[in-house]
Chains A and B, each alone.
Chain A
């Protein structure tokens, strides 16, 4: 199989680690070799949290500049920050709902004008997909499921050989029972709303 380097980025608390772990588990279920790298510790306190899923037998746990095949941004500013890890061949998926950092609230920085940059992304990458994952998560019944909505989008784009059923099965076995239903709904909503 082809190698795929998938980068997840978001803000502490958004569940990037769960998303990458579920994808890793689904990959294993699908019979693939996989590496998932996670960030623990300091950065989790509201900082940037990145994780990667490497498919197809790659051994390296991290992704260098220009090397991500797929970027999944859980927050628009973090998507923007991670663009340097992409090349023109990359697929970029992003949530549109911002989480304004403290440095903006304190007036040290300005939050970039994302509409302009979404336009840039649309023009510069092989595929680009933006949606309000927070709204879809709420619709699914839990605002926490932003990560699962985006996982749905990722699978819908069919860029990796992991199908919808395998991920749904993984969600059923790996997520706490009381969260299974809203998470499945969140996944389906992401899957249906993936357009690019």
Chain B
């Protein structure tokens, strides 16, 4: 049995933050979960996937085609009174935001938790947006764990809060809280999970036509006020220590503060407000805190989410006090923090001495060779790129061609010696941006998209491209998996994980179904015939689609033989 399912109450396991969230959902009796993968959230979905495949699994899980769909699946399950969860990386929330903003109006019946995993410093992402702002934008309550134990506890609490308020609750992690392991004490799993709910019809709630939406917006704001009261009283918001100077932090920053106070030996001399339930802003708690101190340091990665609110509160309270943080240049709005950075800021703020370690003189180090991530040896993407390059060379277009690309392992085609990735915005942008280039340049356009990305957000843009007569060649890199994020299934896969009996949707059928006639298939390992086919496709003065079919070699090694 899956360890997150077999683990007994009272047992202590060394869990990843993401695994702790899964265990929390199981302990809370969540019965439906849906997600599209994305680092740093992927292990939540992966574990739920394996657990849902167990015999007598207490939970239904699906890999949905994108985050918007996943959120809709979870939302409607919760509307039917069943506890549900969806998880995504920060940019996934952009895709799902259309759902989110109105889901906040109609609310839920069963508890619903939305996990957003942010990625400060962009370890595996195209931006480092701060999704705490989605809590404020949507007026939904938000919890922020600092450790795996808290990740589990907060997940359970989030379901309770969600049911109490009839609103989904956001659980926000970052790379460092999702990908840290720590001891987690397991709680009991429920004996009976409510897997079957009942949807009570009520169009004046669930169908937000303008007249209904106007009512529901009011309800949302009333519920947000109740949520604020919960935040004011929450055990997750605590003041530690005493003194006339204060520090406020949440998430991993709170870990850095705690370690710094301990290492500087000043835990007792400063008042530290640790916010695990930071939104709705617990204004009364914050006000009381601010009234008791003479100056405050706010430690938070990315946007001044707490800092700005504190400044507003101070004004309302008529207090004048220095607020140290981003405004004073103590911290940046860019990138993640590290423990020493926080320790230094605290030592400046409190004027305590910080003894720096003596470091060896590394000034003579030569420039160290970079070690960028690369495509695996034998990766089919590399073969496809080489074949396209060869075909373009033979028709004399290699120099001028533009290569809009997309997100996946194949984005690594950006690096030498391939260098065939020229423009990228977000998942699915290869197709939409090719349309823009086709009407604004006379260059040949060859764009690349992976199979998972095709289903995520390529199809509607391809319909657009065909209907609006855009001219480019779209190469679909069909490696039969979602490789970049750890080999999750998608609707097009031919090689499936054991027991995965979902109907397959061949990409060729989808493309032809849209009405596109110029559809070609290549095997990238058969270079000669691939180049010939590509030359033909690339010479056409219209939209052409080339599907390059060859499984990811890592995925093939895992599941290829066991169909």
Contact in complex: A67, B12 (CB < 8 Å) = no
Q: Kindly specify which of B95-103, B161-169, B335-343, B495-503 makes contact with the partner chain.
A: B335-343
**Residues in B whose Cβ lies below 8 Å from that of A83:** 360, 362, 365
Count chain A CB atoms within 10 A of each CB in B12, B338, B485, B486 and give the residue with the most.
Answer: B338
Contact in complex: A64, B338 (CB < 8 Å) = yes
**Residues in A whose Cβ lies below 8 Å from that of B176:** 37, 61-62
Does B459 count as interface, using CB distance less than 8 angstroms? no
Contact in complex: A80, B182 (CB < 8 Å) = no
User: Which of A28, A47, A60, A112 has a CB less than 8 Å from the CB of B339?
Assistant: A60
Q: Kindly specify which of A96-104, A132-140, A161-169, A186-194 makes contact with the partner chain.
A: A96-104
Name which residue of chain A comes closest to B341, CB basis: A64
**Residues in B whose Cβ lies below 8 Å from that of A125:** 360
Does A181 count as interface, using CB distance less than 8 angstroms? no
Contact in complex: A81, B179 (CB < 8 Å) = no
Contact in complex: B181, A37 (CB < 8 Å) = yes
Does A195 count as interface, using CB distance less than 8 angstroms? no
Name which residue of chain B comes closest to A106, CB basis: B416
Contact in complex: A24, B181 (CB < 8 Å) = yes
**Residues in A whose Cβ lies below 8 Å from that of B417:** 106
**Residues in B whose Cβ lies below 8 Å from that of A45:** 373-376, 409, 412
Task: Give the distance in Å from the alpha carbon of A84 to the alpha carbon of B361 in the complex.
Answer: 9
Contact in complex: B373, A42 (CB < 8 Å) = yes
Contact in complex: A33, B183 (CB < 8 Å) = yes
| Smallest CB separation, A28 vs chain B (Å) | 5
User: Which of A36, A38, A61, A103 has a CB less than 8 Å from the CB of B252?
Assistant: A61
Contact in complex: A87, B255 (CB < 8 Å) = no
Task: Give the distance in Å from the alpha carbon of A34 to the alpha carbon of B14 in the complex.
Answer: 9
Task: Give the distance in Å from the alpha carbon of A43 to the alpha carbon of B374 in the complex.
Answer: 9
Contact in complex: A86, B359 (CB < 8 Å) = yes
A21 in contact with B368 given A38-B179, A41-B124 (CB within 8 Å): no
| Smallest CB separation, A64 vs chain B (Å) | 3
**Residues in A whose Cβ lies below 8 Å from that of B484:** 41-42
Name which residue of chain A comes closest to B17, CB basis: A61
Does A94 count as interface, using CB distance less than 8 angstroms? no
Does A142 count as interface, using CB distance less than 8 angstroms? no
Contact in complex: A110, B369 (CB < 8 Å) = yes
Contact in complex: B485, A67 (CB < 8 Å) = no
Does B265 count as interface, using CB distance less than 8 angstroms? no
Does B1 count as interface, using CB distance less than 8 angstroms? no
Contact in complex: A60, B256 (CB < 8 Å) = yes
Contact in complex: A40, B40 (CB < 8 Å) = yes
| Smallest CB separation, B271 vs chain A (Å) | 18
Contact in complex: B12, A28 (CB < 8 Å) = yes
Size of B's binding interface in residues, CB under 8 A: 53
| Smallest CB separation, A155 vs chain B (Å) | 18
| B interface secondary structure, majority | loop
Task: Give the distance in Å from the alpha carbon of A81 to the alpha carbon of B366 in the complex.
Answer: 10
Contact in complex: B376, A77 (CB < 8 Å) = no
Contact with B along A117-130 (1 / 0, CB 8 A): 00010001100000
Contact with B along A156-174 (1 / 0, CB 8 A): 0000000000000000000
**Residues in B whose Cβ lies below 8 Å from that of A25:** 14
Task: Give the distance in Å from the alpha carbon of A120 to the alpha carbon of B363 in the complex.
Answer: 12
**Residues in B whose Cβ lies below 8 Å from that of A67:** 339-340, 357
Contact in complex: A24, B357 (CB < 8 Å) = no
| Smallest CB separation, B190 vs chain A (Å) | 26
Contact in complex: B409, A34 (CB < 8 Å) = no
| Smallest CB separation, A140 vs chain B (Å) | 23
Contact in complex: A103, B370 (CB < 8 Å) = yes
Contact in complex: B183, A88 (CB < 8 Å) = no
Contact in complex: B357, A35 (CB < 8 Å) = no
Contact in complex: B365, A39 (CB < 8 Å) = no
Please report which residues of chain B, range 383-419, place their CB below 8 angstroms from some CB of chain A when the two chains form the complex. 409, 412, 416-417
User: Which of B147, B181, B369 has a CB less than 8 Å from the CB of A59?
Assistant: B147
| Smallest CB separation, A133 vs chain B (Å) | 18
**Residues in A whose Cβ lies below 8 Å from that of B40:** 40-41
Count chain A CB atoms within 10 A of each CB in B181, B357, B373 and give the residue with the most.
Answer: B181
| Smallest CB separation, A63 vs chain B (Å) | 7
**Residues in A whose Cβ lies below 8 Å from that of B252:** 60-61
| Smallest CB separation, A30 vs chain B (Å) | 12
Name which residue of chain B comes closest to A57, CB basis: B262
Name which residue of chain A comes closest to B377, CB basis: A46
Task: Give the distance in Å from the alpha carbon of A31 to the alpha carbon of B123 in the complex.
Answer: 32
**Residues in A whose Cβ lies below 8 Å from that of B358:** 87-89
**Residues in A whose Cβ lies below 8 Å from that of B359:** 65-66, 84, 86-88
| Smallest CB separation, B116 vs chain A (Å) | 16
Does B146 count as interface, using CB distance less than 8 angstroms? yes
Name which residue of chain A comes closest to B253, CB basis: A60
Name which residue of chain A comes closest to B485, CB basis: A41
**Contacts A60-B259, A67-B357 known; 15 new A-B pairs at CB < 8 A:** A33-B182, A36-B180, A37-B176, A41-B42, A42-B484, A47-B373, A60-B252, A60-B256, A62-B339, A66-B359, A80-B368, A86-B359, A108-B370, A112-B365, A112-B368
Listed by A's residue number, 16 A-B pairs whose Cβ atoms lie within 8 Å are: A34-B182, A39-B123, A41-B484, A45-B375, A46-B376, A59-B258, A60-B259, A60-B339, A62-B339, A63-B339, A64-B340, A86-B359, A86-B360, A88-B359, A106-B417, A108-B370
